Amino acid sequence: MKPPPFEHHAPRELGEALDVLAEVGPRGKVLAGGQSLIPMLNMRLAAPEHLVDINRIASLATVEPSTEGVTVGALARHSQVERLAGHPLLRQALRLVAHPVIRNRGTVVGSLVHADPAAELPAVLALLGGSVRLARLEGLREVGAAEFFVGPMESAVQPGELAVSAYFPSLPPRSGTAFREVARRHGDYALAGVCAVVTLDDDLHITAARVACVSVGPVPVVVDVGGLCERRPASTVDWAAVARAVREETEPEGDIHASAAYRLQLVGVLAEQALKDAAREAAGPWGSDPVGT
């Protein structure tokens, strides 16, 4: 379990990194937190000739919250984002990512680029309609979440490109969020997971409701269930119908840890729980029991 030979590049400036990436093209891989890449190298499942290690590029280690949203640089670690982003859904999601030691090394942007359909952060980006900024020698491009996740472990990043930041938009007022998942062990990739955002009007009626589901399709599955909530207060929504609708949009597969049928069951249960949690959070102190039982 030792990696095959590779050339290690340690640029100190973004420009330098882009130069190297342009030169090595498909023969290169970017090393940031290394929480997925290093095991793949050690197991010789990946054998890039060049590793472009961006850990010395201090300008990428940024977390910039604003009223519109938070921009997370390519070197911002999970734990740093959890502390600084000021974004409730990101915080909820990051608490479910592995363990503190991994969160101290792993990066949010790295997780997005890795595009594991079982990971939490791609679902968050998809749910919020965020985007990823890709840089190459010739310039920048911004790719929306819907286009960014192409397939399992496959993102829109092209050879020669570096994902420099991700943008997670803020939520409208009186919105609530939640992330629910079932994992075999604490911190494991979820067997199924659902993150939800619910927005209420002044009368605490639901005006918008969306979920993004984890581990039940090749990419995060976003389902808009706002219509099914019919601008009702959360306590009178037909949640079973909502859960059914979410289930119908997913195509889980079975593996050694869970059957497809079980995952389908989970995604419905978790969607209902996450949506209710989000509605409860959106109502805040105003609604004493906005969801009902």
Partner 1 sequence: MTTRLFGEAVQRREDPRLLTGGGRYLDDLGSGALEAAFVRSPHAHARIRDIDVSAALDVDGLVAIYTWEDLPERVGRPLPLLIPHPALTHGRTAYPLARDVVRHVGEPVVMVVARDRYLAEDACGLIEVDYEPLKPVVGLEEAVQGAQLVHEDVPGNVGAHLVQEVPSRTGRSAREAIEASPHTLAFRLDIERSASMPLEGRGVYARWDGSDLRVYTSTQTSTSVRMAVAAALGLPLPHVEVIAPDVGGGFGVKIVHPWPEEILVPWAAMRLGQEVKWTEDRREHFISSAHERGQVQHVRVGFDDDGVVNGLDVTILHDHGAYTPYGIIVPIITSTQLLGPYRIGAYRVEFSAVYTNTVQVTPYRGAGRPQAVFCMERTMDKIARYLGKDRTEVRAANFIGPDEFPYDQGMTFQDGRPLIYDSGDYPTMLRMIKELIGWDDFEPAEHRGIGIGCYVEGTGVGPYEGGHVQITSDGRVHVSTGLTSQGQGHETVFAQIAATELGVPIERISVVTGDTRRFGYAVGTFASRAAVMSGNAIALACRKVREKALRIAAEALEADPGDLEIADGLVHVVGTPSASIPLSTVAVLANPLRYAFDEETAKATQFSGTASPDKPPVAEGDEPGLEGRDYYSPIRSTFAAGMHAAIVETDPLTAEIKVLRYAVVHDCGRLINPMIVEGQIHGGVAQGIGGALYERMVYDGHGQLLNASFMDFLMPYVTEIPHIETAHLETPSPLNPLGIKGAGEAGVIPVSAVIAGAIEDAEGIEIDRMPISPSELFDLRNLAGQDAQTPCDDREP
Question: Where on the chain is the footprint of partner 1 (CB under 8 A)?
Answer: 1-5, 39, 43-44, 182, 184-188, 191, 256-259, 261-262, 265-266, 269-270
- Minimum CB separation from partner 1 for residue 145, in Å? 26
Nearer residue to partner 1 within complex by CB, 173 or 256: 256
Nearer residue to partner 1 within complex by CB, 56 or 257: 257
Nearer residue to partner 1 within complex by CB, 130 or 193: 193
Nearer residue to partner 1 within complex by CB, 43 or 140: 43
Which tokens belong to 285?
Answer: 């102190």
Nearer residue to partner 1 within complex by CB, 41 or 282: 41
- Minimum CB separation from partner 1 for residue 117, in Å? 15
Q: Contact 141/164 with Cβ under 8 angstroms?
A: no
Nearer residue to partner 1 within complex by CB, 42 or 104: 42
CA distance linking residue 211 with residue 222, whole number of Å: 6
- Minimum CB separation from partner 1 for residue 207, in Å? 28
What is the number of alpha carbons within 13 Å of residue 171 lying toward its C-beta? Answer: 27
- Minimum CB separation from partner 1 for residue 144, in Å? 31
Nearer residue to partner 1 within complex by CB, 87 or 103: 103
Radius of gyration of the chain (CA): 20
Could you tell me the CA-to-CA distances from 218 to 33, 46, 116 in Å, in that order? 24, 21, 8
Q: Of 132, 130, 147, 133, whose CA–CA distance to 219 is shortest? A: 147
CA distance linking residue 77 with residue 61, whole number of Å: 8
CA distance linking residue 148 with residue 140, whole number of Å: 14
Nearer residue to partner 1 within complex by CB, 2 or 8: 2
Which tokens belong to 281?
Answer: 């959070």
Q: Where are the alpha helices (DSSP H) in the chain?
A: 14-24, 37-42, 78-84, 88-94, 100-105, 108-114, 120-128, 145-148, 226-229, 239-249, 260-283
In eight-state DSSP terms, residue 49 is S
- Minimum CB separation from partner 1 for residue 2, in Å? 4
- Minimum CB separation from partner 1 for residue 256, in Å? 5
- Minimum CB separation from partner 1 for residue 266, in Å? 6
- Minimum CB separation from partner 1 for residue 5, in Å? 7
Strands of the sheet containing 7-9, edge to edge, are: 7-9, 50-53, 28-31
CA distance linking residue 116 with residue 107, whole number of Å: 14
